[in-house]
A and B are shown apart, each in its own frame.
Chain A
Amino acid sequence: MRSRDQAVDSATQQAVQVLYREHHDWLRHWLRRRLPSREHAADLAQDTFVRVLASRQVGELREPRAYLSSVARGLMIDGFRRRSLEQAYLESLAAQPEPLEVSPEERALIFETLLDIERMLDGLGPRCREIFLLAQLDGLSHVQIGRRLGLSTNTVRKYVVRGLTQCLLLVED
């Protein structure tokens, strides 16, 4: 007898198959109007359904096309962010006065980590983001940050807590 999880998976798979059959072409055309190439649109359409399948949040969709376009939009934004960050990252590496000795594999892993961090920073306001970065990445003490920005250490701590809390909301269990 199949386990409950397997039964849920089967139901989700069937729901996504129906979704795919009924809306894949529509999604591909929707993406084609927003992306530079047919191939890119086809890839992103597939990625969208993979994301929907992995999320297991198919259920009874009242507006499947709105849901699919929302997922696809998120993937598009993520793609833009990835390319933009990669360019900035490579430029930063090239601009270092002393070359940082990292292998291509390490460089790729570091980039994925930076991408994860940037996604988390999205939810922070500018001041909170700055203080969070100075504290958590640059390793400055709250006293040092307070002196640099003209803030009390209590205020710095509040911003760091806010930043950590926002980031924790995005960390998966």
Chain B
Amino acid sequence: MGGPAKPSPAVLQAAANWHLDLQAAPRCAVLCEAHRRWLEADTAHRQAWDRLQRLQGTLDSLSPGMRRLGCELFLSRHC
């Protein structure tokens, strides 16, 4: 028997939107409660959110100086 289904792109997009909304208004109780209900509505939502936390953890592991360096590096390589 396989594990839980992977979150769909639509669910991942929803997680991304929640991330930006909560970043913009971290103390909004109504928003936090809506997010909590979204997380509990489906295990795929929690999975998507966990992925986002891991992604953010990867980015946060870099110091501000390294983030700036990384940004310049990638912009010069790719853009």
| Number of residue pairs A-B, CB distance < 8 angstroms | 97
B75 interface neighbour in A110, A116, A133, A136, Cβ under 8 Å: A133
A164-B77 contact, Cβ under 8 Å, with A117-B58, A171-B54, A173-B6: no
Interface contact B75-A167, CB-CB below 8 Å:
no
> Whole-angstrom distance from the CB of A54 to the nearest CB of chain B?
16
Interface contact B52-A117, CB-CB below 8 Å:
no
Pick out which of these stretches binds chain B: A12-20, A32-40, A86-94. A86-94
> Is residue B78 contacting chain A, with contact meaning CB distance below 8 A?
yes
A168 interface neighbour in B16, B64, B75, Cβ under 8 Å: B16
A165-B12 contact, Cβ under 8 Å, with A117-B58, A129-B78: yes
> Is residue B68 contacting chain A, with contact meaning CB distance below 8 A?
yes
Give the chain A neighbours of B9 by CB distance below 8 A: 165, 169
Docked Cα-Cα span, A85 to B62, in Å, equals: 16
Interface contact B69-A100, CB-CB below 8 Å:
yes
Give the chain A neighbours of B71 by CB distance below 8 A: 133-134, 137-138
Give the chain B neighbours of A102 by CB distance below 8 A: 66
Interface contact B74-A173, CB-CB below 8 Å:
no
Size bracket, chain B contacts: 35 or more
Interface contact B72-A171, CB-CB below 8 Å:
no
B70 interface neighbour in A114, A120, A160, A164, Cβ under 8 Å: A114
Interface contact B67-A168, CB-CB below 8 Å:
no
Interface contact A137-B51, CB-CB below 8 Å:
no
> Is residue A113 contacting chain B, with contact meaning CB distance below 8 A?
yes
Docked Cα-Cα span, A111 to B54, in Å, equals: 17
11 sampled A-B residue pairs with Cβ under 8 A: A100-B65, A113-B62, A129-B74, A129-B78, A137-B59, A161-B20, A164-B20, A165-B13, A165-B16, A169-B12, A173-B50
Residues of A within 8 A of B (CB): 85, 88-89, 92-93, 96, 100, 102, 109-110, 113-114, 116-118, 120-121, 126, 129-130, 133-134, 136-139, 157, 160-161, 164-165, 167-169, 171, 173
